[in-house]
């Protein structure tokens, strides 16, 4: 995937997967909710206006918690500020959500939790691997919501170039632009022809590529020599797998960061931007919001991007992919 010097860089948004997730992120409402509201306010004050969530974010009884928190936080803003936000949620195509009307109840529930502050609805993943006959019906159901004026924009997530091209063509026949596609993309995601093909198609079609997990669960923010320190078992296991494999890469990230007087986080995010994506890192505290937003003030050189590209290719292990990712 070639870096184009002088190309216009995309912005940065933020994700809210951790807001309500106890299993992976150790969320506790009594401890975290006030800090998350402060994080939200700092992110907006720093110019981060694209917010990603999903109806499945939150574990167990807390499913939907991310949307509920966002709805409350946005409702507390002045009306003029609310209108500047792009709030995007993803609806999960669970096997029991059947047919063209299969996502209607989920869409309505998300709208209630978000208190009506929804700008883009997204299909969370493709059903091509387990129920290919469902995909057109579910996509048409979301398109119906756009045509009815219930939501302005439509996007998709976890789809490869083949499914994306089909979806784009299908929606184009109905006069609906496909606004964005979310893919797992970071210095620790494996380079692939699939990614290069998808990026090239998106450039031609005017589809924004949203890079989720751009910091690889925070691995790319940790200096060389770091040891697993996450507060949940799942993340500690991931750190134990990925920290040794990424030592040289993180050393280069740290070197660029020190030379420029910035954070490793900013270097990793600007690598994503240099490759034509809009990274949407998760935020859990105000200092993270300030750090992420600071990446918008500078960009990597072509030599720096090429250095990181080479080290990325040499990593022996990579981030695990979503099992529902389609071709």
Beta bridge partners of 156: 123, 181
Domains and CATH numbers, the chain: 14-219+276-300 (3.20.20.100)
| Helix spans in the chain (H) | 22-25, 29-45, 65-75, 79-82, 104-113, 132-147, 161-173, 193-205, 233-245, 247-260, 264-274, 286-294, 302-314
The confidence score (pLDDT) of residue 255 equals: 98
Q: For this structure, is 27 an active site residue?
A: no
DSSP type of residue 261: T
The confidence score (pLDDT) of residue 6 equals: 44
Helix (H, G, I), strand (E, B) or coil at 180: strand
**What is the rounded distance in angstroms from the CA atom of residue 90 to the CA atom of residue 121?**
6
**What is the rounded distance in angstroms from the CA atom of residue 21 to the CA atom of residue 324?**
20
Token representation of residue 217: 């669960």
In angstroms, what CA-CA distances link 164 with 158, 161, 171, 302, 303? 9, 5, 11, 29, 31
**How confident is the prediction along the chain (327 residues), in pLDDT tens digits per residue?**
544 444 557 899 999 999 999 988 889 999 999 999 999 999 999 999 999 999 999 989 999 999 999 999 999 999 999 999 999 999 999 999 999 999 999 999 999 999 999 999 999 999 988 888 999 999 999 999 999 999 999 999 999 999 999 999 999 999 999 999 999 999 998 888 899 999 999 999 999 999 999 999 899 999 998 887 777 777 788 888 888 889 999 999 999 999 999 999 999 999 999 999 999 999 999 999 999 999 999 999 999 999 999 999 887 556 666 666 777
Catalytic residue chosen out of the listed positions 27, 57, 130, 212: 57
10: CB partners within 8 A, 6+ apart: 208, 209, 273, 276, 277, 278
Number of H helices, E strands in the chain: 13, 8
> What backbone phi and psi angles, to 5 degrees, belong to 319?
-60, 140
The confidence score (pLDDT) of residue 233 equals: 75
């Amino acid at each position: 995937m070639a870096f184009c010097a002088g190309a216009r860089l995309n912005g940065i948004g933020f994700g809210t997967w951790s807001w309500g997730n106890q299993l992976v992120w150790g969320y506790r409402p009594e401890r975290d909710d006030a800090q998350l509201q402060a994080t939200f306010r700092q992110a907006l004050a720093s110019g981060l206006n694209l917010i990603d969530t999903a109806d499945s974010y939150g574990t167990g009884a807390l499913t939907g918690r991310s949307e509920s928190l966002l709805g409350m936080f946005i409702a507390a803003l002045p009306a003029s500020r609310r209108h500047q936000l792009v709030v995007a949620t993803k609806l999960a195509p669970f096997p029991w959500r059947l047919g063209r009307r299969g996502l209607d109840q989920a869409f309505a529930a998300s709208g209630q939790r978000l208190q009506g502050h929804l700008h883009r609805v997204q299909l969370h993943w493709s059903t091509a691997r387990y129920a290919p006959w469902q995909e057109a019906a579910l996509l048409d159901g979301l398109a119906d919501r756009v045509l009815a004026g219930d939501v302005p924009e439509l996007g998709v997530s976890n789809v490869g170039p083949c499914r994306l091209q089909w979806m784009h063509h299908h929606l184009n026949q109905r006069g609906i632009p496909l606004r964005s596609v979310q893919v797992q993309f970071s210095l620790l995601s494996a380079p692939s022809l699939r990614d290069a093909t998808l990026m090239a198609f998106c450039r031609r079609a005017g589809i924004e590529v949203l890079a989720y997990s751009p910091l690889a669960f925070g691995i790319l923010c940790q200096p060389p020599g770091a040891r697993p320190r996450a507060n949940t078992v799942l993340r500690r296991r991931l750190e134990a797998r990925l920290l040794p494999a990424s030592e040289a890469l993180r050393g280069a990230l740290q070197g660029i960061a020190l030379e420029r007087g910035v954070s490793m986080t900013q270097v990793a995010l600007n690598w994503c931007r240099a490759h034509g994506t809009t990274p949407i890192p998760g935020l859990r505290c105000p200092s993270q919001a300030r750090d992420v937003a600071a990446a918008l003030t500078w960009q990597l050189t072509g030599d720096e991007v090429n250095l990181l590209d080479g080290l990325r290719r040499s990593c022996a292990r990579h981030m695990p992919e979503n099992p529902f990712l389609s071709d």
